[in-house]
Amino acid sequence: MPPKKNPTDMTEMEQVLARMKDLENRVKVLEKMGTPTRVKQEILPWLAKTVTECPPYAEAIKRCTTKAIRTDLLVTLKKQGLTATIMALWTHVFTKGAAECPLRCYALSPSTLYGFDGEWKKMGPQDYGTLVRASEQWIIRAIKAECAEGSEISAVLFGKVVDSSADAARLRIRLCKYLQQSLKSISTYEFEP
């Protein structure tokens, strides 16, 4: 191989050929390293592998016993109604992005809830109904604990449940939007030679 010429002594054609040779060498090195391949994982196996320490979602609601939260939620119940109160309860119990949160929703499928009930699963209508019923029971217990029997709030709202499918659907959508996270951490890359 002839000695390299100083770039100022080279003609334009020689400079282009030298640059092309340098780029070809770089491409060969990169080809030896391999090409990255994006490997998509399923959400449920990824959740089962990465998040193991959470209470079942219905139990998480029952564990919420703080008097201050109870008082705030009863004020919400009186001013905004039952569906707003259930959503406020869920925002207290299910902290978005927390490792111990037993409910998850991801931007990839924004209307699908994943719940932990001993194991991770996609929540169907029956599971969602369990979540709503547990929330309603919590609110009824809060009313009993905080309000005197026969008071305005207990007389009007005691025993009232979310029975409208439209209300239940609205609650589900709001919960999904609140819990929604990005899935960037679920993709992995492998290098193949």
Task: Quick: pLDDT tens for 64-103.
Answer: 766 677 778 888 887 887 788 888 888 888 887 777 888 8
- DSSP annotation of 4 reads P
Rounded to whole angstroms, the Cα distance separating 81 from 74 reads 9
Q: Which residues contact 187 (CB under 8 A, 6 or more apart)?
A: 38, 39, 40, 41
Note whether 153 and 85 are within 8 A (CB): no
The pLDDT score that the predictor gives to residue 24 is 93
| 80 or 22, which is more confident | 22
**Mean pLDDT for the chain overall:** 76
pLDDT tier, 159 (very low <50, low <70, confident <90, very high otherwise): very low
Helix (H) or strand (E) holding 180: strand 180-181
- The tokens for 164 are 């409208």
Whether 165 has a pLDDT exceeding 70, the answer reads no
What pLDDT score was predicted for residue 186? 61
- The helix-helix angle for 67-80 and 82-93 (nearest 10°) equals 150
Do 83 and 170 form a contact (C-beta atoms < 8 A)?
A: yes
Average pLDDT over residues 39-50: 78
Closest CA to 63 of 120, 159, 127, 134: 134
